[in-house]
Each structure stands twice: as structure tokens, then as C-alpha cells.
Amino acid sequence: MNFLKGIYGIDLLSILLIFLSSFFNLSKYTWFIGTALIILSLYRIFSRNIYKRQSENNALIAFLNKPLSRFGMRIPYNSQPIDFTSFSYAYKVLKNILNEKKNFKITKCPKCGQNLRLPRKKGNIVVTCKRCSHKFDFRT
């Protein structure tokens, strides 16, 4: 994932371009505009010229804040784009969760309701709850 370091990421303008492109891709007459908007959005997301992309996003926010100010609302300028390094962390967490589900079985103690993590593929075992010391049989 080192090739994703230093890229700009997804911001408000990129999301707006993706929604506009999906709208234009609904018609067979405007598919070219939709495809061009998707390419522009991907170019912005994977760009390494962060200063230029931030200034484009700030121009959009300034444009949107003018009508929003009439209703007492505004979009903050300091919102950070979503970068792809956080996705690698989320992937690692998801991988660990799936590995836990593959190797362990979660059950509750019938007496006190404490969650117990038991190893899979051990057959019938006698489980002792750590909270209430209740013993019961369980098939893993």
C-alpha cells in the first residue's frame, strides 16, 4: 500500500463529481459527460498535487457557503480528505475479526450471560464460566 502514500484522497468535490457522473450515465445521450466526470474524479483522488486539490475543494466550499449562509449553516474549510492509509488499517481490523470467527466460537453462559470465547473443532467440551463458575457441556 506504499503506492497510495502521498495521494490526495476523497473530498467533497470528488464525491460531488461521482454523483454527477452517475446521474449523467443514466442516459445514453450523456454517457460521455458522465465518463469524463468519473475520470476527472479519479484524477483528483489519486493526484499528488495536494495544494492544488485543496484550493479546488475550498473554492467549491466557498461557492456552497454563500447560499447556505442564508439559512445559518456553513461547511467547514478544514475538513480533511479521506486518505487510503486508513483503509489499510480497516482491512487489518476486518481480517483479524474474520480470523477470530474462523478459529473461535462465542457463546453465553446459561446462568449469568457472560460471553465466552471457545476454540472451534474440539468436539464436546465442559466449559466453566469464569464469572459464576457454572459448568456446562458445549459442542464446538
**Tens of pLDDT along 10-63?**
899 999 999 999 999 999 999 999 999 999 999 999 999 989 999 999 999 999
Q: Please give the mean pLDDT across all residues of the chain.
A: 90
pLDDT at 91 over 90: no
The secondary element (H helix, E strand) that includes residue 105 is: strand 104-108
* Phi, psi dihedrals of residue 126, rounded to the nearest 5°: -95, 120
**Of 39, 38, 49, nearest to 7 (Cα)?**
49
**Of 93, 138, 95, nearest to 117 (Cα)?**
138
Residue 62: predicted pLDDT: 94
Paired with 116 in beta bridges are 107
In the chain, pLDDT over 90 holds for what percent of residues? 72
Residue 82: predicted pLDDT: 77
Rg (CA), the chain: 26
Distance between start and end Cα atoms, the chain: 37
Residue 12: predicted pLDDT: 92
**Rounded CA separation 81/14 (Å):** 10
